[in-house]
């Protein structure tokens, strides 16, 4: 066990907002008197009408509801921009570092951000967007992506960001699901010196996205694109026609702020819906506490805005806190494996937040790429998205941070809106690989398969026993699915889908998903999604997909495919099927291994025994367990004999 403890340094304990005793006190109050705790926290936001109500919720079927600060009114964009104009109007809100290191970075003060957001909001209005409308954002990592989100928030439109790496098919599905009439995109994106044809993908999506009426196109690269008259609008042309003043729409606390699609264990991706006040409060509260953030510090969350991490910790959290947030267009390993550390030096980044998969990839390139940079500005490091293996943790700590920076390993989910289990740098001793302790307000429980709450040092399934302001409010268009997915496995609790161990010190160790979700490079992928893409291929009769261990990605995708009678299993078809999934969903869903299987292991009632498929994918063929309940135990021998990788 890697239970070695890295204690809080004296300096951090002294300087940080919250020390160990402070954490105990906050946590105690948050659980003993949540009403007054959260109403006090609500003061961190600027309200049009201050709430008198805090949480009002029940996870029980008869009375299922979740709301926070329901009588309050505010505007999220005004909280992230306008309220800083008085004291911090000339301070930098956004630093944008382009893909190409030879290009100049761009900087926006809060005053400039205000103007950009107002203009963007007026363009949306001019295109007919109204309060409550859904706007799909399919953008590269350019400042206009942040402007677009805040512009939606300003006028009360609900944004739905679709990651720029998703295919036209995936984009179309998301546009259709939330009935989004307007799509915001760019001519092209750039990543690692390569172009991503975003506008062309929107054009390709149009055939299956009938809701889409308008496309607003930001000129990012100047690449050639086709514009469809009547439907497509250049952003810079529309922006020249509107004013740089736009009033912020007063919104109810519970009015939706955004939808973000995420993979679940079954069916199509779910549209996770977040509220205005509760979500923003959670993003602001956690960003300040976990990063011990103070305005003036350059803070860098190296995620993409297409994921929840980009929403909460590039845009909403840091801007609500009047911070300076760095947005990076590029990738960690281009032009070479020094890029991240060079950006840190160039902008004097003090806080860096990234994913274990990036660290593992950089670690493999050797320490020289790190050592040749200074990194003296760094004070705090963070990780998110998947469990971090202790080896990568130690490398991050010793080589990147030269032993001087605490690491906050933050566990949370799209559904939780923000960080839930994480160290506080001035309060919590660290153990490599552990997300450590719940934040004040978070009430985790570990339960066994029957739902019995386990106490003390134990292992089981991770639930959250009470609501918190940042909790998702529904699945867009399917409230029943929301209840069924999260509140029926262990009645009365929110079930996270994660397995978890708690050690004798009360530290939490996330062990990974216990459902059919796999975590590829920190990105969630439903096995069912990949399976549905595969069976769409005319030669595929059946497919089963499981996770397999992968050195860099954490988990890779292992697909078992049964072909229709008469189809020939060969290398050409293997490549074709891998590309097929890539085109259907996007590059992140490409199977790492694909095995042709004459049959899949099934119970007599026809259920695929995934346990066996996982073991084979993991290479643990000697411990397949009981196969006697299979309808045809012989298929297992074939699978083992023809294992790939
Ligand atoms: C923020 C984000 C959520 C799933 C979650 C868990 C895994 C995230 C983690 C972690 C171990 C951490 N996860 N952070 N596992 N340690 N620090 O990643 O959201 O894309 O919805 O993924 O990611 O399995 O359930 P999302």
Q: Residue 355, Cα to own-chain centre: how many angstroms?
A: 11
Ligand 1 within 6 A of CB of 435: yes
Report the separation in Å between the CA atom of 152 and the middle of ligand 1, taken as the mean of its atom positions: 27
**Looking at the predicted structure, is the pLDDT value of residue 632 above 90?**
no
Q: Which two tokens stand for residue 430?
A: 């660290």
Residue to mutate (ligand 1; options 274, 381, 392, 413; most atoms within 8 A of CB): 413
Q: Residue 195, Cα to own-chain centre: how many angstroms?
A: 23
Residue 538 burial (C-beta neighbours within 10 Å; 0-12, 13-18, 19+): exposed
Cβ partners under 8 Å of residue 549, min gap 6: 555, 556, 618
SS3 353: strand
Q: Residue 419, Cα to own-chain centre: how many angstroms?
A: 11
**Looking at the predicted structure, is the pLDDT value of residue 612 above 70?**
yes
What is the rounded average pLDDT of the residues 196-201?
98
The pLDDT tens digits of the residues spanning 575-605 come to 999 999 999 999 999 999 999 999 999 888 7
Q: What residue owns the CA closest to ligand 1's atom 16?
A: 387
Ligand 1 within 6 A of CB of 510: yes
Ligand 1 within 6 A of CB of 500: no
Residue to mutate (ligand 1; options 496, 510, 517; most atoms within 8 A of CB): 510
Report the separation in Å between the CA atom of 413 and the middle of ligand 1, taken as the mean of its atom positions: 5
8 Å CB contact between 46 and 457: no
Binding residues for Mg(2+) are 535, 537, 540
Which pLDDT does position 225 carry in this prediction?
Answer: 97
Distance separating the N- and C-terminal Cα atoms of the chain: 29
Report the separation in Å between the CA atom of 386 and the middle of ligand 1, taken as the mean of its atom positions: 5
d(CA 407, CA 142): 28
β-pairing, 106-109 vs 92-97, is antiparallel
Ligand 1 within 6 A of CB of 286: no
d(CA 224, CA 636): 52
Cβ partners under 8 Å of residue 158, min gap 6: 132, 133, 134, 135, 152, 178, 256, 257, 258, 259
Looking at domain 521-642, which of 3.30.300.30, 3.50.50.60, 3.40.640.10, 3.40.50.920 is its CATH number?
3.30.300.30
d(CA 190, CA 99): 7
Ligand 1 within 6 A of CB of 471: no
Which pLDDT does position 1 carry in this prediction?
Answer: 45
Q: State the DSSP string of 40-88.
A: HHGGGS--SB--S--EEEE-SGGG-EEEESTT-EE-HHHHHTGGGHHHH
The pLDDT tens digits of the residues spanning 100-141 come to 999 999 999 999 999 999 999 999 999 999 999 999 999 999
The domain segmentation of the chain, as residue ranges, is 521-642
Residue 311 sits at φ, ψ, to 5 deg, of -60, -55
**Looking at the predicted structure, is the pLDDT value of residue 81 above 60?**
yes
Binding residues for CoA are 191-194, 309, 333, 521, 582
Please tell me the total number of residues recorded for the chain in this structure.
645
Between CA 175 and CA 430, with CA 327 as vertex, the angle to 5 degrees is: 105
Which pLDDT does position 250 carry in this prediction?
Answer: 98
Q: Which two tokens stand for residue 240?
A: 């020249």
Burial 354-363 (b: 16+ CB within 10 A, else e): bbbbbbbbbb
The 3-class secondary structure across 400-413, one letter per residue, is HCCCCCCEEEEECC
Atom of ligand 1 nearest to the CA of 513: 24
Q: Which two tokens stand for residue 138?
A: 């399919």
Ligand 1 within 6 A of CB of 411: yes
What mean pLDDT is reported for the chain? 96
Binding residues for ATP are 385-387, 409-414, 498, 513, 524
Between CA 534 and CA 328, with CA 588 as vertex, the angle to 5 degrees is: 160
d(CA 150, CA 131): 13
- Among positive and negative, which fits the CA dihedral 478, 479, 482, 484? negative
Q: What residue owns the CA closest to ligand 1's atom 12?
A: 411
**Looking at the predicted structure, is the pLDDT value of residue 346 above 80?**
yes
Ligand 1 within 6 A of CB of 412: yes
Q: State the DSSP string of 441-465.
A: T--EEEE-TT-PEE-SSEEEEEEE-
The pLDDT tens digits of the residues spanning 505-524 come to 999 999 999 998 999 999 99
Residue 73 burial (C-beta neighbours within 10 Å; 0-12, 13-18, 19+): middle
Report the separation in Å between the CA atom of 411 and the middle of ligand 1, taken as the mean of its atom positions: 6
Report the separation in Å between the CA atom of 409 and the middle of ligand 1, taken as the mean of its atom positions: 10
What is the rounded average pLDDT of the residues 393-411?
98
- Among positive and negative, which fits the CA dihedral 636, 642, 644, 645? positive
**Looking at the predicted structure, is the pLDDT value of residue 2 above 60?**
no
């Amino acid at each position: 066990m890697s239970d070695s403890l890295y204690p809080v340094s004296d300096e951090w304990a002294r300087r940080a907002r919250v020390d160990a005793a402070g954490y105990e006190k906050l946590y105690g109050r948050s659980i003993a008197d949540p009403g007054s705790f959260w109403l006090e926290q609500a003061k961190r936001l600027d309200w049009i009408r201050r709430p008198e109500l805090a949480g009002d919720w029940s996870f029980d079927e008869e009375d299922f509801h979740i709301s926070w600060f329901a009588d309050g009114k505010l505007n999220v964009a005004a909280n992230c921009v306008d309220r800083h104009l008085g004291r911090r109007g000339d301070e930098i809100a956004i630093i944008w570092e382009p893909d190409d290191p030879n290009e100049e970075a761009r900087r926006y003060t809060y005053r400039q951000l205000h103007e950009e957001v107002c203009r963007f909001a007026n363009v949306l209005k001019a295109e007919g967007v109204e309060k409550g409308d859904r706007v799909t954002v399919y953008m590269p990592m350019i400042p206009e992506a942040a402007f677009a989100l805040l512009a939606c928030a300003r006028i009360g439109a609900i944004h739905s960001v679709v990651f720029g790496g998703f295919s036209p098919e995936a984009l179309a599905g998301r546009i259709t699901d939330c009935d989004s009439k307007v799509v915001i995109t760019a001519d092209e994106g750039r990543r690692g010196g390569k172009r991503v044809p975003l506008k062309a993908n929107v054009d390709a999506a149009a055939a299956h996205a009938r809701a889409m009426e308008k496309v607003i196109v930001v000129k990012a690269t100047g690449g050639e694109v086709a514009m469809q008259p009547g439907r497509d609008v250049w952003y810079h042309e529309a922006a020249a026609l509107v004013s740089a003043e736009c009033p912020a729409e007063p919104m109810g606390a519970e009015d939706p702020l955004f939808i973000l699609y995420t993979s679940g264990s079954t069916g199509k991706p779910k549209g996770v819906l977040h509220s205005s006040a509760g979500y923003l409060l959670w993003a602001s509260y956690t960003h300040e506490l976990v990063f011990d953030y103070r305005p003036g510090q350059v803070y860098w969350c190296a995620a993409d805005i297409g994921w929840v991490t980009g929403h909460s910790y590039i845009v909403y959290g840091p801007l609500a806190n009047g911070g300076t947030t760095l947005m990076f267009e590029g990738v960690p390993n281009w032009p070479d494996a020094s890029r991240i550390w060079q950006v840190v030096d160039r902008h004097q980044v003090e806080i860096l937040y990234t994913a274990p998969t990036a660290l593992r990839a950089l670690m493999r390139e050797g320490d020289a790429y790190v050592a040749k940079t200074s990194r003296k500005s760094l004070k705090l490091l963070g990780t998110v998205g998947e469990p971090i293996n202790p080896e990568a943790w130690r490398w991050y700590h010793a080589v990147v941070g030269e032993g001087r920076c605490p690491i906050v390993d933050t566990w949370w989910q799209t559904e939780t809106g923000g960080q839930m289990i994480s160290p506080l740098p001035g309060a919590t001793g660290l153990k490599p690989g552990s997300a450590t302790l719940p934040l004040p307000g978070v009430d985790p429980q570990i339960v066994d398969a029957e739902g019995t709450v386990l106490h003390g040092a134990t292992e089981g399934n991770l639930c959250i026993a009470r609501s918190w302001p940042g909790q998702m409010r529904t699945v867009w268009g399917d409230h029943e699915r929301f209840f069924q997915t999260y509140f029926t496995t262990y009645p009365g609790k929110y079930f996270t889908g994660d397995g978890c161990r708690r050690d004798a010190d009360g530290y939490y160790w996330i062990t990974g998903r216990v459902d059919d979700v796999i975590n590829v490079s920190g990105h969630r992928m439903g096995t069912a999604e990949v399976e549905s893409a595969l069976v769409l291929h005319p030669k595929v009769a059946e497919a089963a997909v499981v996770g397999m261990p992968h050195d860099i990605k954490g988990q890779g995708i292992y697909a078992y495919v049964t072909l229709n009678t008469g189809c020939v299993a060969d290398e050409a078809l293997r490549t074709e099927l891998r590309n097929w999934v890539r085109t259907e969903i996007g590059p992140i869903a490409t199977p790492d291994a694909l095995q042709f299987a004459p049959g899949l292991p099934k119970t007599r009632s026809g259920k695929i025994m995934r346990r066996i498929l996982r073991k084979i994918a993991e290479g643990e063929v000697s411990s397949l367990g009981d196969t006697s309940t299979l309808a045809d135990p012989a298929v297992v021998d074939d699978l083992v004999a023809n294992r790939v990788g």
